[in-house]
Amino acid sequence: MRVNVDRSEGNWGILPNLHDSNNSNLGLGELLDDLTSRMLQELISRLNIAAESFGAQGCEVNLLEWTRDIFTPATACGFYGPNNPLTMEKTLETDFWTFDHGLQSLLIGLFPKVTAQGPYYARERLVAAFKAYLVNKSDAQASAVVQKRLEILSKHAFSPDSTARAELSFLFAGIINTTIASFWLVLRIFASPGLLASIRAEITAAHSLDPSKSSDGDITLSVSSLKSHCPLLASCFRESMRLASDAPSTRLVTQPTTLADKATGATYDLTAGSIVQIAGAAMHADARLWGADVDKFEPRRFLPSKDKSSAAGTASTNPAAYRAYGGGSTLCPGRHLAGSEVLAWTAAVVMALDTVRVDGEELKVPEKEDGTLPVHLCEPKADVKVKFVRRGSGKVRVEL
């Protein structure tokens, strides 16, 4: 794992190979389209089942738990096929999130079997299930992206145990941030009735739906129309991640480097061998970059400036100030997949469901929980309870 990590001896080695495989296979193209279709099919079929069960009477859910309960098995199926470890053993879904929430104590690494028992044994149960999945050759129905990863691990003589651990980390990357991003975006939209109406109107127009019928018959949404014709939805997505993100990127300085601040003329000398942390959350909260309304959720902040109200955010923030997907050579390779999933999921929820107030209470957006180590996006500080009812009686379909 530690050999030739920085490619100083050429393009070989397990980490360079995996990095290249992720970047090319999750980049725009046939394999990504195939994977995205699988994911959307899994997500939206679960949404239709949920909508039917909510019915007109409605049902109160904990929004983050509900989102997790759908994204966790859907992503596992999309990546690893119908016989994936989590589908075979439902309790592993709980183990998955116990492992995630215990990451900080596991990383401290002080006798984790004793000091981090819950997450430690949850992780080991997941690894054992992944091992059984590989030994039973259940990966024959996995996505092509996963099969390419498995080929590389096998070429590098990874044992089933090590392969299981590598794949658990990939599933981790694929589930956690996409789930949390979807939670925040759905919440932000439903918490503001005016915004909800504008987003519904935008989706309706983008798909030439008949506004009077769009909640009754079946509707088909398309990811490409959502991306090209729903700028307000896309802006809300970026804005909700700006506020939820807490992504510190860590970099090793490989040669003496001087950084210069053009505005002040100050320079910073970085010595080779030192470590730099790029504090994404601090950059996202900097009024010098985003304007005086930096702490506010501004749905129109990322609209092209011609479409903004004059009050909406700063006109020309440097794109490098946005760190939700990191940056540089480790920029998140899953961003295309994640973008399609979060936009399609949110649009489908917005069209399929409505919320009703519980006890006359407005839907409130809690602060982000930034006191624990997140895997890039923070969860909320408080639970959010939402009562969903079904709109109309139609089903939602999503195509690319």
Q: Which residues bind ligand HEM (CB under 6 A)?
A: 19, 22, 26, 173-174, 177-178, 181, 241, 247, 249, 324-327, 330-334, 337-338, 342, 376-377
Q: How far is CA 400 from CA 35, 182, 397, in A?
A: 11, 18, 10
For ligand HEM, the closer of residues 26 and 232 by Cβ is 26
Beta strand extents in the chain (DSSP E only):
59-62, 219-222, 248-252, 257-260, 267-270, 275-279, 353-356, 385-390, 396-399
**Minimum distance of ligand HEM from residue 390's CB (angstroms):** 27
Rg (CA), the chain: 22
**Minimum distance of ligand HEM from residue 335's CB (angstroms):** 6
**Minimum distance of ligand HEM from residue 248's CB (angstroms):** 9
For ligand HEM, the closer of residues 122 and 281 by Cβ is 281
**Minimum distance of ligand HEM from residue 216's CB (angstroms):** 32
The residues pairing with 177 across neighbouring beta strands, listed in sequence order, are none
Q: Provide the token pair at 146.
A: 């996963």
Q: Provide the token pair at 128.
A: 């054992």
CA 337 – CA 380 distance, rounded (Å): 24
CA 340 – CA 37 distance, rounded (Å): 10
For ligand HEM, the closer of residues 26 and 206 by Cβ is 26
The string of DSSP letters for 333-394 reads TTHHHHHHHHHHHHHHHHHHEEEE-STTPPP--PPB--SS--SSBPPBSS--EEEEEE-SSP
For ligand HEM, the closer of residues 59 and 373 by Cβ is 373
For ligand HEM, the closer of residues 67 and 178 by Cβ is 178
The string of DSSP letters for 137-189 reads TGGGGS-HHHHHHHHHHHHTT--HHHHHHHHHHHHHHHHHHHHHHHHHHHHHH
For ligand HEM, the closer of residues 64 and 219 by Cβ is 64
For ligand HEM, the closer of residues 333 and 394 by Cβ is 333
**Minimum distance of ligand HEM from residue 124's CB (angstroms):** 22
CA 189 – CA 113 distance, rounded (Å): 42
**Minimum distance of ligand HEM from residue 170's CB (angstroms):** 6
DSSP 8-state secondary structure symbol assigned to residue 245: B
**Minimum distance of ligand HEM from residue 322's CB (angstroms):** 11
